[in-house]
Amino acid sequence: MTLLRIEHLSKSFDGVKAVHDVSFSLEAGRLLALIGPNGAGKSTCFNMINGQLRPDAGSILLDGKSIAGKHPRDIWRLGVGRTFQVAATFNSMTVLENVQMALLSHERRIFNLLSRVASWREDEAMMLLDLVGMSMHARRSCAVLAYGDVKRVELAVALANRPKLLLMDEPTAGMAPEERNALMALTARLAKERNIGVLFTEHSMDVVFEYADTLIVLARGELIAQGNANAIRNDPHVREVYLGTGASFSPHAALERGAAQ
Ligand code: ADP
Ligand code: MG
């Protein structure tokens, strides 16, 4: 069954159609990139799927069941994980404690004292940290980690909930190109291995073309194209939308521009 099916989704803010009649679907184990210029409606789409916004119209089906308008916590419990939110990790805790906390909340345990966390699920938490290449940093405080490493801990935290679907809104914002590639390569590998569907937005076209199985292009709230990297790269309507936005559209464009400067 299709993991995520979006049909005729719409949302307006004060008469402005942020998302208008958008339909698409995502299969388990696949990476789908939502791209488009600033203000295209990407985050609004994400926030309807994760429950932060209620759609004005349309349906959102996870494994065939409607999740539109449900509480974010209930959507999370149904297996929709989010990464890369501000303050997704707690700086006052170690890397390991952050992942243990996530495992505990997955089990819906109630606990009051952090000291009680210490021995819970340590092996499983370490296994998740190993998966994202962070086990050697397990005992360090999250506050001292490099930016790219925080993102990897956030990925481990999201995986603790055993998500079916991962939503990543600009996961690599602020990262250097090499870090971006490493994070997305890791995400793509985990998506395949764990059969997780990944929906992500990303500004770097190089990253999108490299890692997305399918791309969806939004412009002014409307879906204007969808297809694989080749189809999107050569779509005249998409090129037109991107003209003048400053975004490089061929993987080589940025290099060529850089060389010309
Ligand atoms: P993107 O993520 O593609 O940059 P957004 O989904 O954030 O685009 O925004 C789409 C449109 O909706 C923009 O015109 C934006 O100004 C508007 N918008 C988004 N969120 C709100 C909000 N909470 N209140 C009012 N307008 C909003
Ligand atoms: Mg956005």
Closest ligand, as measured to the CA of 34 = 1
Give the pLDDT confidence score for residue 115 in this predicted structure: 52
Residue 218 alpha carbon, nearest atom of ligand 1: 3
CATH code, domain carrying 89:
3.40.50.300
Is 258's pLDDT higher than 80? no
22 within 8 A of 10, measured Cβ to Cβ: yes
Whole-structure pTM value: 0.86
User: What's residue 148's pLDDT?
Assistant: 83
Q: What pLDDT score does 191 carry?
A: 94
Q: Which range among 23-32, 103-112, 194-203 shows the weakest confidence by mean pLDDT?
A: 103-112
Query: 216-233 b/e with 16+ CB inside 10 Å = b?
Result: bbbbbbebbbbeebeebb
What percentage of the chain carries pLDDT values higher than 90? 52
Tens-place pLDDT, residues 228-242: 999 998 888 888 887
Task: Look at the chain and report how many structural domains it folds into.
Answer: 1
For residues 249 and 204, what is the distance between their CA atoms, to the nearest angstrom? 9
Question: Distance between terminal CA atoms of the chain?
Answer: 50
Q: What domain range includes position 167? A: 2-260
- Ligand 1 binding pocket (C-beta < 6 A) is 13, 16, 18, 36, 38-44
Q: How far is the CA of 195 from the centre of ligand 1 (A)?
A: 31
Helix/strand/coil for 27: coil
What is the DSSP pairing of strand 31-35 with strand 4-13? unpaired
Question: Rounded to the nearest whole angstrom, what is the distance from the C-alpha of residue 19 to the centroid of ligand 1?
Answer: 9
Q: In what order do the strands lie in the sheet with 16-26?
A: 16-26, 4-13, 57-62, 65-66
Choice between 175 and 156, residue whose per-residue pLDDT is larger = 156
